[in-house]
Amino acid sequence: MSSELERRLEGMLAAAPEPDPGAGEEALHRALQAVHPAPRLHRGLRTFVVAFAVALVLLAIAAGSLAAAGGLHVSFGGKKQPAPAVTQLVLPKGANGISAIVGGKLSVVIKGGFRLQTRATAAALSPHALYVAAGVGHSLVALAPSGRRAWSHPAGGKVVAIAWAPDGLEIAYIARSGNRLALHLIYGNGRTDRTIDRSVRAVRPSWRSDSLAVAYVGAGGRAIVYDIFHELHGVSGTAAPVTHVAFPPSGRMLAVATPESALLGQRKVATGPVEALGWLDGDLAVATPERGSALVRLFASNGDSRGSYTAHGIVVAVTPTLVVVRRVGALVTGHTTLMTFPRAATVRDLAVG
**Structure confidence at residue 252 as a pLDDT band (50, 70, 90):** very high
Q: Give a yes or no: residue 123 inside a domain.
A: yes
CATH number at residue 213: 2.130.10.10
Q: What is the pLDDT of residues 29-86, one digit of tens each?
A: 443 344 344 444 344 544 444 454 444 444 444 444 434 333 333 333 445 555 545 5
pLDDT tens digit string along 291-303?
889 999 999 999 9
Q: Does the pLDDT of residue 264 top 60, yes or no?
A: yes
What is d(CA 43, CA 234) in angstroms, rounded to the nearest whole number?
96
Domain containing 208 equals: 97-249+327-352
Q: What integer best gives the mean pLDDT of the chain?
A: 82
Is it true that the peptide bond before 241 is cis, omega within 30 degrees of 0?
yes
Q: Is the dihedral of CA 30, 34, 36, 41 positive or negative?
A: positive
Give the integer Cα–Cα distance in Å for 138 and 141: 10
User: Do the domain assignments include residue 61?
Assistant: no
Judge whether 189 lies within some domain.
Answer: yes
Residue 335 domain flag: yes
For residue 223, is it within any domain? yes
| Reported confidence tier of residue 278, pLDDT bands at 50, 70, 90 | very high
Domain count, the chain: 1
Residue 178 zone, left/alpha/beta (φ > 0; ψ -120 to 50; rest): left
Q: From 225, 264, 208, 218, select the one nearest 241 (Cα to Cα).
A: 218
Is position 46 within any domain? no
| Separation CA 183–CA 203 (nearest Å) | 10
199 is a domain residue:
yes
- On whether residue 296 sits in a domain, the answer given is no
Contact 339, 328 (CB under 8 A): no
